[in-house]
Amino acid sequence: MTIELNHTIVAAHDKEASARFLAGLLGLEVGPTYGPFLPVEIPNGVTLDFLDTEGEITPQHYAFLVSEDDFDVIFARVREAGLTYWADPYRNRPGEINHNDGGRGVYFDDPDGHRLELLTRPYGSGG
C-alpha cells in the first residue's frame, strides 16, 4: 500500500498574505491560484492550500523537518521578521530554541495564529 499526504487546506483571513508569509520564511514560491486556493508546495510534494475564511480560525499545527543549514537560514528570517518564538509548544520558553533528539527546533505563529514548527531531527530519532 502506498499512502502519501498530498495537500491540506490552511484557513486564513487573507490567503495571499498568509501564503506569502510562509513561502517567504521557508524560501518557497506561492503557486498560481487554483479555484479558491492559493498553494504553497513543500519540496516533498505536499501542498498547503491557503483558503480565505470568514470568522474565527482554529489554530492548527504545521511542523517542517529541515536540514541544519536550512534551519539557520529560516530561523534567521524568523528573527529578522521580529517574530516571537519559543523552544516548546506550550510557550514556556520564549526566545529560545530546543535541542530535542540532538537537533534543533523552534515554534512560532503565522498571521492567523497557526503554530509553525521547524525541527532538524524527527521526534524519537535519538541523539
- CA–chain centroid gap for 107, Å, is 9
| pLDDT, the chain, mean | 97
Neighbouring residues of 18: CB distance < 8 A, sequence distance ≥ 6:
10, 12, 50, 110, 111, 112
pLDDT value of position 127: 64
Q: What is the pLDDT of residues 15-29, one digit of tens each?
A: 999 999 999 999 999
Q: Provide Rg for the chain, Cα atoms.
A: 15
Three-state DSSP at 11 gives strand
Q: Yes or no: say if 71 and 124 are a contact pair by the CB < 8 Å rule.
A: no
| Segments in the chain forming alpha helices (H) | 15-26, 68-80
Which pTM value belongs to this model? Answer: 0.95
> From CA 114, how far away is CA 105, in angstroms rounded?
17
What pLDDT is attached to residue 65?
97
pLDDT tens across 86-107, in order?
999 999 999 999 999 999 999 9
**Residue 108 to residue 85: CA distance in whole angstroms:** 5
Amino acid (one-letter) located at 63:
A
Of all helices (H) and strands (E), which one includes residue 76?
helix 68-80
- State the Cα–Cα distance between residues 99 and 35, nearest whole angstrom: 41
